[in-house]
A and B are shown apart, each in its own frame.
Chain A
Amino acid sequence: MISQPFDFHAPRHVDEALLLLDEAGERARVLAGGMTLIPLMNLGLVQPEVVVSLNHIDELDYIVERNGELRIGAQTRHATVQSDAAIARAAGHLAAAAAHIGDVQVRNRGTLGGSLAHADPAANYLPVLLASDATVVLQSKSNQRVVAIRDFVVDLLRTSLTSGELVVEVRIPSLRAGAGAAYAQMARVEGSFPMVTASAVASRETRKARVAIGGVTARPVLVECGLEPAGDASHIAQAEVREPLVDMHGDAAYRRSLAGVFAERVLTAAVNRAGDVRTSR
């Protein structure tokens, strides 16, 4: 049993949720999948007065491809992102990132929108969305705005979400013909928080690549570079890691080195896959 009482709401529609969030303001916490929020409430580390669950809002659970981009509803579960055919075809690196989140039970319940709103630096999706120059749709009672992922994450566990706003959708450009993408990460044990997450999108057409590294800094790092030599991505990534996160698992030099190794690794994989979009991962 959780120690602190709270008012619980389970709206069936987004509009209803937004009204509740507008009314409760800072007193409310959004319960998406709950894979972070409920453990924190169990431990008494987060004690919201109002909990608004999104688990009964079916209209936030969808995947559509339109105008060359995938639009994914915020309540889409990681297990769905991992296994959906349209995502596998148009953004295989997103599916690969989802497949590495937590464990089966966590992927069955946790959601794309919940992960983004929490903005853990080790969140698997962040480098994928940054490499793909994705956007998130934020909705409040009176306003909707579309924010680039690079502007959405502002610091450690901090986003540009304001009081009363909800992540409702993620938009990720579909990989074009001649483009390849990759995701890679390293965690000490399967299911634990990765020490580094990395993703790259490379285009043979433009001869350019975007490489993003997460888990080593408060916000993910972006490297824009050519397709070769892949070592360039490594050098730039290491230079961009100005203030590495330091903990018992790795000091600054080690984290910076990881960024370089993984930048090179995902860029090489993305370039190898470019040209065969159907099987890109």
Chain B
Amino acid sequence: MSVALRLTVNGREHEVQIDERMRLVDLLRDVLRLTGTHLGCGTGNCGGCTVLLSGRTVKSCCILAIDANRERVTTIEAMSTPGGQLHPIQEAFVSNQGLQCGFCTPGMVLSAAQLLESNPHPTTDEIRTAIAGNLCRCTGYQLIVESIRQAASALARRETPDHDGPTL
């Protein structure tokens, strides 16, 4: 059965007819072609499909697309500029080798973004709690934590933001 859905993704409004069985992750990847959101387990464990729904991180495999009607979604694609300039959190992941295969990285970056927005100077424990819902199978947690710590410092150093990140 086809249902009508209206939502805003990365600042852009969409009106689409979708199958009611579609999950938010399916909509993002297969309809809107935003493939930075990854589908891993489909059971809410791995966090590869993490996106922001009205400013809060959620697992998009566990939300029906139609249930995001009239909501605001932010995906990893909104973190960098259209010109391809990476967000300071992404830069920190690159410079600290906070990724290996990269499958978990979009989710990790968005979880980090939500953490740093509400808590600009997190402790190591707070960083670990913030990414508890994002599994990395390359076991790179140590470098991921280090990346987030450095991103926090980099963001704190910037007196005036020269990069317009997404409105979370």
Contacts and interface: CB of A to CB of B under 8 A. Distances in A.
Nearest to B60: A105
A109 B23 contact: no
A191 B50 CA distance: 16
Q: Is the interface of B mostly helix, strand, loop or mixed?
A: mixed
Given A39-B43, A42-B42, A104-B57, A1 B22 contact: yes
Residue among A3, A5, A38 with the highest chain B CB neighbour number at 10 A: A38
Given A104-B114, A104-B133, A39 B3 contact: no
B57 A39 contact: no
Interface in B91-131: 111, 114, 129-130
Contacts of A239: none
B64 A38 contact: yes
Given A39-B43, A103-B133, A109-B56, 20 more contacts: A1-B19, A1-B21, A1-B22, A1-B23, A1-B26, A2-B22, A3-B21, A8-B66, A31-B67, A34-B62, A38-B63, A39-B42, A39-B61, A42-B61, A53-B64, A104-B114, A105-B44, A105-B50, A105-B111, A105-B133
Interface in A83-133: 102-106, 108-109
Interface string A10-53: 10000000000000000000010011001100110000000101
B42 A105 contact: no
Given A6-B20, A105-B133, A34 B67 contact: yes
A55 interface: yes
Interface of B: 1, 3, 19-23, 26, 42-44, 47, 50, 53, 56-59, 61-64, 66-67, 69, 111, 114, 129-130, 132-133
Nearest to A109: B58
A106 B64 contact: no
Given A1-B21, A104-B130, A105-B133, A34 B64 contact: yes
Nearest to B59: A105
A6 to B, nearest CB: 7
A43 B62 CA distance: 11
Nearest to A77: B56
Contacts of A58: none
Contacts of B62: 34-35, 38-39, 42, 109
Given A31-B64, A31-B67, A39-B42, A108 B57 contact: yes
Nearest to A40: B43
Contact of A105 (B1, B20, B58): B58
Contacts of B21: 1-6
Contacts of B59: 105-106, 109
A269 interface: no
A5 B67 contact: no
Give the top 8 A-B pairs by smallest Cβ distance, nearest first.
A103-B133, A2-B21, A108-B56, A39-B43, A38-B62, A103-B132, A105-B133, A8-B20
A83 to B, nearest CB: 10
Residue among B19, B21, B44, B133 with the highest chain A CB neighbour number at 10 A: B44
A185 to B, nearest CB: 15
Interface string A125-167: 0000000000000000000000000000000000000000000
A79 interface: yes
B83 to A, nearest CB: 30
A76 B133 CA distance: 20
A4 B64 CA distance: 13
A7 B43 CA distance: 22
Nearest to A103: B133
B14 to A, nearest CB: 17
B56 A79 contact: yes
Contact of A8 (B3, B44, B47, B61): B3
Contacts of B19: 1
A190 interface: yes
23 contacts: A1-B23, A2-B23, A7-B20, A8-B20, A8-B67, A10-B67, A10-B69, A31-B67, A38-B44, A38-B62, A39-B43, A39-B61, A39-B62, A42-B42, A42-B43, A53-B64, A53-B67, A79-B56, A102-B133, A108-B56, A109-B58, A109-B63, A191-B133
